[in-house]
Amino acid sequence: MQNFNVLATGLLFPEGPVALPDGSIAFVEIQRETISRVAPDGTVSVIANVGGGPNGLAIGPEGAYYLCNNGGFLFQTIAGFNRTRAGVHPDYTSGRIERFDPATGELQTLYDRCGDFPLRGPNDLVFDHAGGFYFTDFGKNRARDRDHAGLYYGRADGSMIVEVAYPLTTANGVGLSPDDSVVYVSETETGRLWAFDLEEPGRAKKHPHPSPHGGRLVCGLPGYQRFDSMAVDAYGNICVATLVTGCITVITPGGDVLRQVMLPDPMVTNICFGGADLRTAFITLSGTGQLVSMEWPEPGLRLPYS
């Protein structure tokens, strides 16, 4: 177990941490349905009430917040930890990608479908240096069936969305290699990390059978370990939040597991890097409703617009 600092408690399923220039951390609270913020002094405030199920978060052009909204989750407590459960929120209408302007307070839906196919449960997103962003659509889990998942690419101005890979199984985290040539996707239920080699922004080279969707398999963990969201470090290692085990799993681009950084919560859901040298990791512990920080051996990858 690593030493860590608790920055905030009492959060309602926090996810999507983003380190801001003033030293505060923005994040979403899926169950509270907000974009929230913890200041350097530990004060927690609500930036915006967005409704549905705010999931992934990123800063984009003009300092706007770009948001994956899964449309709403259902929750349960098991062994003292907050968890999601199968089923659809009673107010669910669709999944969507939203843009929130902190200067004006405007919340805008950029995308709620790709072509003829509605988005079901967008989960996580990451911007590239071309001004677009990749995002995963986890789908919805119901009592007796679940949606296929997918990987998509959209322009920040809402003018274009394309499907990059389909179908995936419970696609969750998404991250980019330092040179934007590879997009990584973690699958929750399979515990697998996939790589999609990019020919240009929004278009991946398709690997042949037996790949189910054109990606190449980077790593799969043994036993019952489930992947959530991720961040990439400056050396290209993929740091994946790992459920059940309750840790961050650090994986090289070649698929070797460097280490697992253990934390006291089976619902470790996401990680981002911040601080002056990007050597501070900020991690969401959703089962206990905490945001924590710790020193990290490698610097994180500096993200566009950060």
Binding site for a divalent metal cation, residues? 172, 228
Catalytic residue among 124, 179, 180, 228: 228
pLDDT digit string (tens) for 251-261? 999 999 999 99
pLDDT, one tens digit per residue, over 36-57 is 999 999 999 999 999 999 999 9
Give the model's pLDDT for residue 276.
85
Cis peptide before 212 (omega within 30 of 0): no
Structural domains in the chain? 5-295 (2.120.10.30)
**Is residue 110 within 8 Å of 98, Cβ to Cβ?**
yes
**Numbered residues of the known binding site:** 123, 172, 228
Task: Decide if 147 is catalytic.
Answer: no
Rg of the chain on CA atoms, in Å: 17
Q: Helix (H, G, I), strand (E, B), or coil: what is residue 61?
A: helix
The fraction of the chain above a pLDDT of 90, given in percent, is 98
Give the pLDDT confidence score for residue 2 in this predicted structure. 78
